[in-house]
Amino acid sequence: MSTITDVPRTTDAARTLRADLVERAAALRPLIAANADATDRERAVPAGNIDALAQAGLLSLMRPARYGGLQTDFRTLLEVSREIGYACGSTAWLTSLLNANAWFVGLFPAQAQDDVWAHHPGARVAGVVTPSGTAHVVEGGYRVSGRWAPASGCTHADWAVLGVTRPDAEGTADAVGIVLAPMSELTVEDTWFVAGMRGTASNTLIGEDLFVPAHRFHSVPDAIEGRYATPFTDEALYRSPFVPTTALVLTGPQLGLAAAAVDLLITKAPQRRLTLTHYTVQAEAPTIQLAAAHAASHADSAQLHAYRAADDIDKAARTGEYPAYDTRARMRMDAGRAAVHAREAVRTVCSAQGASSFGDANPLQRIWRDIETGSRHAVLSPEVAAEVYGASLFGIRGTVSALV
């Protein structure tokens, strides 16, 4: 599908850079697609994929320019991860989340950002925002322990963003937060045994009594309301709304998976018979033509919803006007709808192609497993997003989830 909506007043330079980055991603598709089966089978994205992405600049989209990053916008991340997702869902997932976690770091105080990037500008960051750990206040910071999963990309990361609660601050507004810890202080436990997105190796991080200095803690309630700790308030990217952004970054890989499934149908249908019918090839059958139309429309609808949310996020960041609760609820709903439409596009193609869709040698079965898994991430949950959005339409706020 051709380019659709974009944020008003997006500069020509920004569009040129975005187009260049998408071209770089497209150039990597043959390599990443060739590794897709091995990525799935061996439950790990090959280092060669990660190195190629890094060399192309596609893992520095969200890193501040102060540390040599590209500091782009979320529409760009969406389009790049869609392009990678066309070739491999797991590799696209890591592309998106390693970038998204770099964005999280950009919200922290200057000293925390220096800790991560001052001496290693190429440092990559994984993370789990769910508050699965505890942070006890001590002199100068916190003692942190916990288990965090699923930590997508931790194999390729140097640092981790970890969700924590502060038991001694129970009941206060900032009792939930995220901390930054180096991967060298964490243990990785192999727990990612799943049907889809197998290559993400989203294993469990374990930390025992880690010391985290105070400047590496960020309050999540403050982040939800746009009160970020970064002193570099003129950097538009790090004014993006917290929860809508956290949900949206999960949709890019799914846009790519849906597009790949539709193209598989369009490519194969003129070459294959429709079993137990008189049609010479599938493409002549109205049932296949209708399936193609519905699948393509679902893929387009997924993209329309995701792009609208991305453009709203980027516009808010650019203007510095933090979106109100109801607007953020609609953005999260857009991300959820994008996931539903992308998943339906793939399901429609699988039904049209029949049982052969699930053959080991057919890439469609991997696409189907990946999108069925990825579209059910808790932050993306279309059902919870619908509850939040539906309540907000009646003026009811804050009763479903804090993550709005």
Query: Mean pLDDT in each 10-residue stretch from start to end of the chain (404 residues)?
Result: 60 90 98 98 97 98 98 97 98 98 98 98 96 95 97 97 86 84 98 97 97 97 97 98 97 98 97 93 97 98 98 96 97 97 98 94 97 94 95 95 92
- According to the model, what pLDDT value does residue 167 have? 83
CB contact set of 284 (below 8 Å; sequence gap of 6+): none
Helix axes 286-319, 325-353, angle to 10 degrees: 160
- According to the model, what pLDDT value does residue 364 have? 97
Q: 3-class SS at 273? A: coil
CB contact set of 97 (below 8 Å; sequence gap of 6+): 126, 127, 152, 153, 249
Quick one: DSSP state of residue 106? T
Amino acid residing at 260? A
What DSSP element (H or E) covers 300?
helix 286-319
Amino acid residing at 147? R
- pTM here is 0.95
